[in-house]
Amino acid sequence: MAMIGKLNHHWRVSSRREFFTRAGSGLAGLALGAMVGEAATRRDPLALKPSHHAPKAKSVIWLFMEGGPSHIDLFDPKPKLNEMHGKPMPVSFGRPITAMGTAGNSLMGSPRTWKHYGQSGLWVSDWYPHIAQHVDDLAVIRSCWANGLNHVGSVCQMNTGDILAGRPSLGAWVTYGLGSANRNLPTFVVLMDDKEVLGGPKNWSAGFLPASYQGTQFRQGNEPILHLKSPEGVTRERQRSKLDFLRQLNERYADDKQEDTELEARIESYELAYKMQAEAPEVVDLTRESEATKKLYGLDDPDTAAFGTNCLLARRLVERGVRFVELYCGSGSGWDAHSNIEANHGKWCRVSDKPVAGLLADLKARGLLQDTLVVWGGEFGRTPFNEKGDGRDHNPWGFTTFMAGGGVKGGQTIGATDEIGLRAVERPAHVHDIHASMLHLLGLDHIRLTYMHNGRAERPTIVGGELIHELWS
């Protein structure tokens, strides 16, 4: 009653009935505002939109190490774990339920050699010697945690915020929130290596958002975007005329089908494909790059050429206004080292180390790193106890992600796991916190970024998400 009294005084209402009437009207106004905004979005879903606050980053390059890289073998050294190698895990750490039921197995130390690097003195293992040269640009979050135990759900959560399929991916939310900065290219691009990502397109889906916001998958090889070229003999004017006529027919059919966003997306895709015919071939033509640049990304080495090509392509895309580029390394859970982690991680670290370092160096040299948020990480980490004697199980309770550029304060570690690297114990950062912080750096408030779905104002972090202020303050 005291609160109602204060509000009554502020609103100058004379009765409880008037208070609830005005409150109801206010809620209705909010809903109407959301519907008006979404109607405008339907008219031009990719129109440029203002950010909620001044952005520190213009674009994101997300380096997704699918399968779960081992934080305790890469960025989070654990001397105590090495001391306890071969011993049972003390009960004081608790016994988690693991994907493969390995929590009762003995502890397994890391055989890696560790060094301090840069002026900041951050620890990096000998598996990542090239990335180690860039630690002063990295903010290493050692206390990440998630909810899933298995790959499909965990990859889904890292992309969409939920282990269950159906929600929009973070790239789709960014596209919805900011619109396109280059109408001749997709706003959200997905690059994979030679296998399919577990869970497939749901990881870059628009979910319940209009389908126009979903990611566009580029393929490997000499033709990343299929069917861009017009058939021989078809001039650009004739192609334009055909598309204009097709749009008229589609729009006439769509007039009474306002809720069919798939149809709307199909209309938009025809238009985008036409525009891409002029600009996309130049973007994916890496012959325009110098030999020194290609070598920087590892294009001269069979081990690094594929991922290096994707990293270089990512730079070319953000250089031209693409907002969100997601690169998968180890598609199909390549980093999933249930056995022989030496061979598994040895391979994938070799594949990713030089290209990621090359990307960081190239972005910085071109003045792009300050506007580009680079994110590295997987869907979870790996356990401190062994599986099959020489492997590690899935660990969603404590793992590492790093960020660089885009307003991030480099040369620091944020949070910590326990003495054996099992759980986040200092400054835990949930997936929703990571997403909220990425959006904040792009100028978007994860609470204000909403979309009405089934009568509820949905947002990217569902009902969670706290900013990791240490990233930029």
Query: Is 269 in the same domain as 250?
Result: yes
Query: Is 327 in the same domain as 246?
Result: no
Give the containing element (helix H, strand E) for 327.
Answer: strand 324-329
Query: Is 234 in the same domain as 308?
Result: no
Query: Is 364 in the same domain as 313?
Result: yes
Q: Is residue 462 part of a domain?
A: yes
Query: Is 260 in the same domain as 135?
Result: no
What tens digit of pLDDT does each residue of 429-446 get? 999 999 999 999 999 999
pLDDT of residue 280: 76
Q: How far apart are the first and last CA of the chain?
A: 40
CA angle 431, 51, 376 (to 5 degrees): 35
* 292-319 average pLDDT score: 97
pLDDT of residue 444: 98
Query: Is 255 in the same domain as 142?
Result: no
Query: Is 446 in the same domain as 328?
Result: yes
Query: Is pLDDT above 70 for 337?
Result: yes
Q: Is residue 274 part of a domain?
A: yes
* 417-427 average pLDDT score: 98
Query: Is pLDDT above 80 for 162?
Result: yes
Count how many domains the chain has.
Answer: 2
What tens digit of pLDDT does each residue of 119-137 get? 999 999 999 999 999 999 9
Q: Is residue 52 part of a domain?
A: no
Query: Whole-model pTM?
Result: 0.86
Task: Say if CB 372 and CB 386 are below 8 A apart.
Answer: no
Binned at pLDDT 50, 70 and 90, residue 99 comes out as very high
Q: Is residue 17 part of a domain?
A: no
- The C-alpha atoms of residue 361 and residue 374 are separated, in whole angstroms, by 12
Binned at pLDDT 50, 70 and 90, residue 44 comes out as confident
Query: Is pLDDT above 50 for 27?
Result: no
Query: Is pLDDT above 80 for 17?
Result: no
* 249-273 average pLDDT score: 63
For residue 185, give its domain range: 59-221+290-471
Query: Is 245 in the same domain as 306?
Result: no
Query: Is 257 in the same domain as 315?
Result: no
- The C-alpha atoms of residue 179 and residue 89 are separated, in whole angstroms, by 50
What tens digit of pLDDT does each residue of 393-411 get? 999 999 999 999 999 999 9
Q: What CATH number does the domain containing 424 carry?
A: 3.40.720.10
* 148-166 average pLDDT score: 97
Q: Is residue 5 part of a domain?
A: no
Q: Is residue 174 part of a domain?
A: yes
- The C-alpha atoms of residue 331 and residue 345 are separated, in whole angstroms, by 14
Domain boundary among 241, 259, 283: 283
Q: Which of 436, 466, 373 is nearest to 170 (CA)?
A: 436
Query: Is 266 in the same domain as 393?
Result: no
For residue 58 the two structure tokens come to 């213009």
pLDDT of residue 35: 45
pLDDT of residue 266: 61
Query: Is 303 in the same domain as 401?
Result: yes
Domain boundary among 233, 253, 283: 283
Query: Is 258 in the same domain as 342?
Result: no
Q: Is residue 374 part of a domain?
A: yes
Q: Is residue 37 part of a domain?
A: no
21 or 219, which is more confident: 219
